[in-house]
Amino acid sequence: MADPILKIEGLEVAVDNTPILKGVDLEVPQGEVHALMGPNGSGKSTLAYALAGHPRYEITGGSVMFGGQDLADMGADERAQAGLFLAMQYPVEVPGVSVMNFLRTAVNATRGEEVPVREFARLFKEKSDLLTFDPSFADRYLNEGFSGGEKKRHEILQMALLEPAFAILDETDSGLDVDALRIVAEGVNAQRGPDLGVLIITHYTRILNYIRPDVVHVMFDGRIARTGGPDLADHLEEKGYVEFGSAETAAAPR
Amino acid sequence: MADAPTWADDARSAATAALDALPALTGAEEQWRFTPPADLDMNGDTPAGVAAGTGTVALPAASGRAARLAFADGTPDPAEILDLPDGVIVSELGAALETHEALVRDRLYSLAGFDDRPGALNGAGWDAGTFVFVPRGVEVTLPIETILTATGATGRVFGRTLVIVEEGAKATVIDRYLSPDLDGVVQASTVVELFVADGGELEHVSYIGWGRGVRHQATIRAAAGKDARVRSVNVTLGGDVVRVEPTVYCRGTGADARALGLYFATGDQHFEHRVVSRHEAPQTYSNLLYKGAIQDTAHTVFFGNLVVPPGAPGTDAYQTNRNLILNEGARADTIPFLEIETAEVKCSHAGAVGRVDDEHLFYLMSRGVPEREAKHLIVYGFFQEVLDEISFDALREELEAAARAKVR
């Protein structure tokens, strides 16, 4: 087994002084795809934001090691430069910042060097084709007026361009129709390999039919309640989260 | 200037007399509450001619311009007339007083006279002058540009621009102000008068890109006739203390005026913009949009006023000022004002001072962009709404680049 790219031990996180994560233990070996499932409010997205370094999510206990580095000491920008990527559930609109300008700035920042214009153009073309973006998309303002599906595809496009060592997909499947879900899944699968660890955060099992996880974790009330193989997802699809104490009886959309 | 016609000499004497007659500005006056008049030498206390250091300014290429006039410390370089349609005049204003008296005499000083100290000071002292005339129905495709530079060899720089766009004519005029960083102080005073006749269109861009040491009071006044379109764009990036006072006058039915501005104040810069639209005819439209970013210990002031005197029904007028504070210690004041004395008008005004949105910042930083760079990306995005209104692509790109270069 490869060394873990992500090693979380006893992680406690508070938002506005309210404890949300109450001792999370989770390990993802490099090259593996893990799913993190759980009912609403169990703390899945909190974990995602805390890992990415959102200032509102305060680490109050435990530790997170990322590729041998302690994440607690690093700002959001440094974590991204170190190879961590979060595909956001709700990407924000940033008025007036063009997609092209944003992506170039991000690629330069994560690589730590200016990527020649021509090389970037080639890279952008290749990856935006993969995610079925029209070239005119480059001139649009960041997420402004994007449909739900475009926002999610754009997140995965960023992942493809930034080539992270570890990607967290936070509810990337929510709000996507089947076609968009397939495009997003293909985008992720194309990057899958020994140099990429993935944590797919999802409420439902649907996306896991397109991106098969190696391991499935269930989060409940701020802790990992169970860990199993891909069949755990199938089990949840049938039984829901009720056995963990949740009122939600099914993990599949009805 | 020695052989100016009598009427022009008389005007200069009148300006000088007004300077003596007008009370000194103390800073207690309501409209001088935010910028001490002494900082702009409004009372002429600073002896002129004191060198402020020496430097040179590399002029940008004149390519992409219809014509260009450049002045170094008030002395004109030979005009570069590159591509002007027949009948269009771009001339040094001092010469035009005589050669184009019939066009100049009635207009000069008629929008900005000597009834206040900034006007009188400029009227008495201007030397770097530009005259632009676009005859009826003629369209000048490329911008006409004036560049005023200060090298520090003299402690004062005076500029004056007069633009006349006749019926149905169309032009873009840029006034650009440049200097290197100076060790001492240079006082700059500029007045721009813009006349747009019925159905004419004018886009005027004032780009203040001074280096350190320059203090500048700028008056810009534009009069729009029936169905005329005026855009007054002000970009303020440079100078220690800068006060810009643009006023648009909607004088004919159907006149359409837009006053657009952006400013980015850093270090200990102090910028004040006082932007007014006056609706003097029925069924006129104006829209003021100013956006600013403030960093370090800089301070900016925006005062906006929509004036609708009696007799201008059907006025449609809007003003918005938004400010982004980039750190603690930076400060912006915004005072949006309305003076409405006509019923049946549509007017709105909004002023806001805010910080960079944490969620925007996190999104960019989560892609590896360091905080400072992320904030600047957000600032340029914030400015884009104004820049998108500049119709000439190459000019918009130049101004974008200038805003970016400011903090590199």
Which CATH number fits the domain that encloses residue A129?
A: 3.40.50.300
In a domain, B407, yes or no: no
In a domain, B125, yes or no: yes
A3, containing H or E segment: none
CB B364, CB A78: distance < 8 Å: no
- Residue A103 carries which side chain, given as an amino acid letter? L
End-to-end Cα separation, chain B, in angstroms = 41
B60 confidence band (pLDDT: 50, 70, 90): confident
In a domain, A127, yes or no: yes
Judged against a pLDDT cut of 60, whether residue A253 lies above it is answered with: no
Both tokens of B342, joined, read 């006509």
Instruction: Please state the φ and ψ torsions of residue A145, each to the nearest 5 degrees.
Output: 70, 10
Cα distance between residue B239 and residue B190, in whole Å: 14
- For the residues of B159-194, what is the DSSP string, one character each? EEEEEEE-TT-EEEEEEEEE----SS-EEEEEEEEE
Both tokens of B344, joined, read 């049946």
pLDDT for B386: 94
- Specify the number of domains making up chain B: 1
A2 confidence band (pLDDT: 50, 70, 90): low
Q: Is the minimum CB–CB distance between B264 and chain A shorter than 8 Å?
A: no
Interface mutation target, options A51, A77, A89, chain B, most CBs of B under 10 Å:
A77
Q: Which residue has the higher pLDDT, B404 or B144?
A: B144
Q: What is the CA radius of gyration of chain B?
A: 20
Tens-place pLDDT, residues B182-220:
999 999 999 999 999 999 999 999 999 999 999 999 999
Q: Is the minimum CB–CB distance between A53 and chain B shorter than 8 Å?
A: yes
Question: What does pLDDT average to over chain A?
Answer: 93
In a domain, A65, yes or no: yes
- For the residues of B268-297, what is the DSSP string, one character each? T-EEEEEEEEEE-SSS-EEEEEEEEEE-TT
A254 confidence band (pLDDT: 50, 70, 90): very low
pLDDT for B154: 87
Judged against a pLDDT cut of 70, whether residue A22 lies above it is answered with: yes
Both tokens of A167, joined, read 């990607």
- Quote ipTM for the complex: 0.95
Which SS3 state, helix, strand or coil, does residue A1 take? Answer: coil
Stretch A178-197: mean pLDDT: 94
Looking only at the bridges linking them, the beta strands covering B256-265 and A223-228 are unpaired
Cα distance between residue A233 and residue A226, in whole Å: 11
Cα distance between residue B259 and residue B192, in whole Å: 14
Cα distance between residue A132 and residue B114, in whole Å: 63
- Specify the number of domains making up chain A: 1
In a domain, B404, yes or no: no
Nearest to B369 among A55, A77, A96 (CB): A77
Percent of chain B with pLDDT over 70: 97
B123, containing H or E segment: helix B117-125
Judged against a pLDDT cut of 80, whether residue B275 lies above it is answered with: yes
Q: How many contacts does A have with B, using Cβ atoms within 8 A? A: 83
Judged against a pLDDT cut of 70, whether residue B50 lies above it is answered with: no
Name every chain A residue with its beta carbon within 8 A of the beta carbon of B357. 92
Cα distance between residue B141 and residue B130, in whole Å: 19
Stretch A45-56: mean pLDDT: 97
In a domain, B38, yes or no: yes
pLDDT for A12: 98
A8, containing H or E segment: strand A4-15
Stretch B84-93: mean pLDDT: 96
CA A103 and chain centroid, separation: 18
Both tokens of B100, joined, read 């184009």
Q: Which residue has the tokens 């747009």?
A: B196
Question: What does pLDDT average to over chain B?
Answer: 93
* Count of H-run helices and E-run strands, chain A: 7, 10
In a domain, A19, yes or no: yes
Report which of A137, A183, A135 is spatially closest to residue A160, judged by C-alpha positions.
Answer: A183
Identify the domain containing residue A168 by its residue range: 4-244
In a domain, A228, yes or no: yes
Looking only at the bridges linking them, the beta strands covering A4-15 and A18-29 are antiparallel
Stretch B287-311: mean pLDDT: 96
| Residue B30 CB partners (closer than 8 Å, separation 6+) | none
B339, containing H or E segment: strand B331-340
In a domain, A252, yes or no: no
pLDDT for A17: 94
Q: Which residue has the tokens 């100013």?
A: B290
Q: Which residue has the higher pLDDT, A244 or A122?
A: A122
Instruction: Please state the φ and ψ torsions of residue B373, each to the nearest 5 degrees.
Output: -65, -40
Identify the domain containing residue B77 by its residue range: 6-355
Contact: B377, A81; criterion CB under 8 Å: no
Q: Find the residue in A nearest to B374 (Cα).
A: A105
Name every chain A residue with its beta carbon within 8 A of the beta carbon of B370. 77, 109
Cα distance between residue A19 and residue A61, in whole Å: 10
Q: What is the CA radius of gyration of chain A?
A: 18
In a domain, B112, yes or no: yes
Both tokens of A78, joined, read 């440094």
In a domain, B379, yes or no: no
In a domain, A251, yes or no: no
Least confident of B56-70, B145-159, B233-247, B248-262: B56-70
CA-to-CA dists, residue B251 to B78, B112, B244, B281, angstroms: 36, 16, 22, 5
| Residue B322 CB partners (closer than 8 Å, separation 6+) | B290, B291, B292, B350, B351, B352, B354, B382
Cα distance between residue A189 and residue A178, in whole Å: 16
Tens-place pLDDT, residues A191-200:
999 999 999 9
| Residue A41 CB partners (closer than 8 Å, separation 6+) | none
pLDDT for B321: 97
pLDDT for A1: 54
pLDDT for B9: 96
Cα distance between residue A91 and residue A77, in whole Å: 16
Both tokens of B219, joined, read 């008056």
Cα distance between residue B161 and residue A54, in whole Å: 52
- Point out which residues pair with B158 in neighbouring strands: B189
pLDDT for A209: 92
Q: Which residue has the tokens 């595909």?
A: A87
Contact: A105, B363; criterion CB under 8 Å: no
Nearest to A76 among B366, B373, B382 (CB): B366
In a domain, B18, yes or no: yes
pLDDT for B148: 96
Judged against a pLDDT cut of 90, whether residue A244 lies above it is answered with: no
